[in-house]
Chain A
Amino acid sequence: MKKFDDFNEADGMVTAVPKNNADEAVRFDRSIANRRDDAEEEANWERLVSQLMDHDLGNALDIGGQGEAQISREQAVSALVESDDQFADTALQAEAVLDYLDNQNIIEASESNSVTVLKPFDELSGTEYTKMYNNWAAMFDTCIERIDYAHDRVEEAKERFENREEETDRRSSDVNPEKRMQELGQKMENLVGDGKPSDLDEADKQEFKHLREQYHFYENMKEAQGPELDPGSDRVKELGRVMDQFEAMRGIMIDHRENFRELALGEAIFPEDLVELSEQYAGFLSSLSGMMDPKEKMEDEDDDAFFENLGTEGEIETATEQAEQLSDVTTEQTAQ
């Protein structure tokens, strides 16, 4: 439920007046509801909306069947208070900011205990919520940030592998227990000759004991050595593949983010174009889904089917094409 419903704006500041007299008024910079001066398509509230989407690593966000996304008011307040961007120092300040953004039709926080950050984008045109196109842009921004973070981690991991390889001058495969065991066995045979170990004199017994312990030592080493592993190369390849996917997705998402920012400014959108945009957007997301989940694909598609389809168009290309088609539609729309 809203805690603030009266907002006085003066000198670039907002004073939020509480509904309950027991609460204190809250003042904050009103620029949160503006577009940025240096990049007029990006809205200042996008960072805040991203924060709500990313709270609890995205788990706090409830995405509904029509593409609408909500977060509980309690979680939204926590997200703003915990944010490094200092959107609010206290829970009351966070409540005031949320209610002000609701007042500005950037989010919907007036009813129940949830905050709607995304409405289905094909329902936004012609409503008072066109600023929510920027929220869709913020969603892509959130994904892009996650990709960037994961990309950095992958780079770190790759660097660490390479350093390890340089540090280790001998590999387990350089140890040859079987060869050593053969050599030691031969030594023991030479030492014992035609007799028995128990027939050896004291000095020979000492040497025999040593050779035998060495033999058992290499027996253990053979077991400890384990299978020969090809260090790094497969892993680095795999990481490279993940990074390629990230890069492909990142580029597509940047395009989409910009498309939605343009839509936010373009307001006039014809319904028939929206249907086309919606279908293409759904197609793009669908292809992205396939690109993102190789494990599921392995389960869903048997080897024969996979082999038969090998060489047909890859998912990344499909997603890119979908993205390009989507860009064309949105460009046409914003131009109209």
Chain B
Amino acid sequence: MQVCTDRWIEAVTTVETAVSRLRTARRPETASPWDTVASVDGALLTLSETLAAVDWFPSLSAAPPEATDRAVGRVLDGLADGTVPADAVETAVAAGRVVRSGDTVEVPLGREQPTAANWYVVLPWAARRLETAVVELQRMGRRLQAVDEPRVADAFGRLEHACRDTATVLAWQPAVVLWLDPPDALVAADFEQLQAFLKRTVAANTEAEFS
């Protein structure tokens, strides 16, 4: 299954928007908190489905420059918040990490470098944004409890829990892959090349007849 960045961004912004709308309402108990619960539930379900469908993470042959990763992160923030910073787009496009077509900017999640590296930015990015939403959900839960809405306050507690769990898995999975399969094929490549170099010398010399 091809996973597109848009789905991640949309799910994250749905959570943020729903929470923000309720937070700015003067009386949360009248601003349809169950609608907020439904929106957040839907977004989290989308995220969990998307994450469950990812049965592979691409290996990176080399660690990308941190500045490029930062630029991709800023592009994602821009796409989520509505204003994409031009300098970040320039940097990311130049590195082949972001595709610009007219006014549209996309962050592809590829199997090969350079866009394969976007996996290791997008997932931690989504995790960070959800961690922020967790704080808002906590606050909203307390407000609803205070206005004697225990059932919906409990629902907000569950959403907070689910958001935190999603953020944990989103941050953890790519980190584990990087642990087990670090982006330095160079280590393996060097070892193999060194081995090949020595073995050729070994073969030549052990086969030689010294007499």
Are A67 and B176 in touch, CB under 8 angstroms?
Answer: no
Binds A, one of B21-29, B34-42, B85-93, B106-114: B34-42
User: Please, how many angstroms separate the alpha-carbon atoms of A57 and B42 in the complex?
Assistant: 53
Q: A residues within 8 A CB of B161?
A: 180
Chain B residue with minimal CB distance to A245? B191
- Which of A63, A170, A210 has most B Cβ within 10 Å? A210
Tell me how far the C-beta of B168 lies from the nearest C-beta in chain A, rounded to whole angstroms. 4
Are B52 and A58 in touch, CB under 8 angstroms?
Answer: no
Chain B residue with minimal CB distance to A139? B201
Are A66 and B208 in touch, CB under 8 angstroms?
Answer: yes
User: Please, how many angstroms separate the alpha-carbon atoms of A171 and B187 in the complex?
Assistant: 27
Q: A residues within 8 A CB of B151?
A: 203, 207
> Which residues 177-204 of B have a CB within 8 angstroms of A?
178-180, 182, 184, 186-187, 190-191, 193-204
Judge if A36 is at the interface, Cβ distance under 8 Å: no
Q: Please pick, from A149, A210, A216, A234, the residue contacting B158 in the complex, using a CB distance under 8 A.
A: A210
Q: B residues within 8 A CB of A164?
A: 175, 178-179
Binds B, one of A6-14, A283-291, A299-307: A283-291
Chain B residue with minimal CB distance to A242? B191
Judge if B135 is at the interface, Cβ distance under 8 Å: no
Are B204 and A65 in touch, CB under 8 angstroms?
Answer: yes
Judge if B84 is at the interface, Cβ distance under 8 Å: no
Judge if A310 is at the interface, Cβ distance under 8 Å: no
Are A239 and B187 in touch, CB under 8 angstroms?
Answer: yes
Are A172 and B168 in touch, CB under 8 angstroms?
Answer: yes
Judge if A22 is at the interface, Cβ distance under 8 Å: no
Q: A residues within 8 A CB of B184?
A: 153, 156-157
A interface secondary structure, majority = helix
Are A213 and B45 in touch, CB under 8 angstroms?
Answer: yes
Judge if B206 is at the interface, Cβ distance under 8 Å: yes
Chain B residue with minimal CB distance to A290? B202
Judge if B105 is at the interface, Cβ distance under 8 Å: no
Are A293 and B199 in touch, CB under 8 angstroms?
Answer: yes
Are A286 and B202 in touch, CB under 8 angstroms?
Answer: yes
Interface residues on A, range: 35 or more
Q: B residues within 8 A CB of A63?
A: 200-201, 203-204
Given contacts A63-B200, A231-B175, contact A221 B166 (CB under 8 A): yes
User: Please, how many angstroms separate the alpha-carbon atoms of A65 and B194 in the complex?
Assistant: 19
Judge if A114 is at the interface, Cβ distance under 8 Å: no
Given contacts A216-B45, A221-B165, A226-B173, contact A146 B190 (CB under 8 A): yes
Are A57 and B179 in touch, CB under 8 angstroms?
Answer: no
Judge if B83 is at the interface, Cβ distance under 8 Å: no
Q: B residues within 8 A CB of A237?
A: none
Are A224 and B41 in touch, CB under 8 angstroms?
Answer: no
> Which residues 121-175 of B have a CB within 8 angstroms of A?
151, 155, 158, 161-162, 165-166, 168-169, 171-173, 175
Are A213 and B41 in touch, CB under 8 angstroms?
Answer: yes
Q: Please pick, from A68, A69, A279, A288, the residue contacting B210 in the complex, using a CB distance under 8 A.
A: A279
17 contacts between A and B (CB under 8 A): A154-B187, A157-B184, A164-B178, A168-B171, A172-B176, A175-B168, A180-B165, A207-B155, A213-B42, A216-B45, A217-B44, A220-B48, A221-B48, A235-B182, A278-B210, A282-B210, A289-B203
